[in-house]
Amino acid sequence: MFTQEECRMLATTVEQAKELSQSLREIDVLVFNTKQSLEEKLNTVFSPHQKTVFVKLAKRHNLSLKVNELKTLSTIIQDTIHNMPRLGMTIAFDPTVEQVENIADWLFINCKKAFLLDITVNPHIIGGAIIGANGKYQDYSLRKKLEILQASKFEILNSKSETNLNVQNSNV
């Protein structure tokens, strides 16, 4: 019922998806708490941004935020997010929320697919990224490029020293 793109507005990383699932489970429990208004319940478990998106998604799909439809809405969102593909990404720095959103937007535009990003920070890769999905990965890190460059320089130096040795041996 909801698209992965719609759910991406609520969570772009695996960590955000876990937090969202926890919030949705809390909503399921709070639904039966009659002491709080719906507004109070939503404010209790969601960030202001998540609450706004949650309400917009409900309206877009003609769902009221009544007790009987709230649990349905929660379940549908959880199922959709659970089925979103994961993309592992190792980068050298801790990205800001804006940078993560930019990465997710770029992936959606260029891959025509919404991913949940599983971001790992490893300063040893220096720059670039190591990206993995579905058991495959590509290393686009600066460290990898430097290792290749260093190996090729070593190869060149090695071949020059062998040439020099051959020249010296032939002169003897």
Q: Could you tell me the residue ranges of all domains in the chain?
A: 4-82, 86-172
Mean pLDDT of the region 80-106: 95
Task: Tell whether the model's pLDDT for residue 58 goes beyond 90.
Answer: no
Per-residue pLDDT tens for 8-56?
Answer: 999 999 999 999 999 888 887 877 766 777 788 888 888 898 899 988 8
Q: What is the pTM of this model?
A: 0.78
- Compute the distance between CA of residue 19 and CA of residue 17 in angstroms, rounded to an integer: 5
Three-state SS for 95?
coil
* Cβ-based neighbours of 92, under 8 Å, separated by 6 or more: 121, 122, 123, 124, 125, 126, 127, 128, 141, 142
Output the pLDDT for position 2.
80
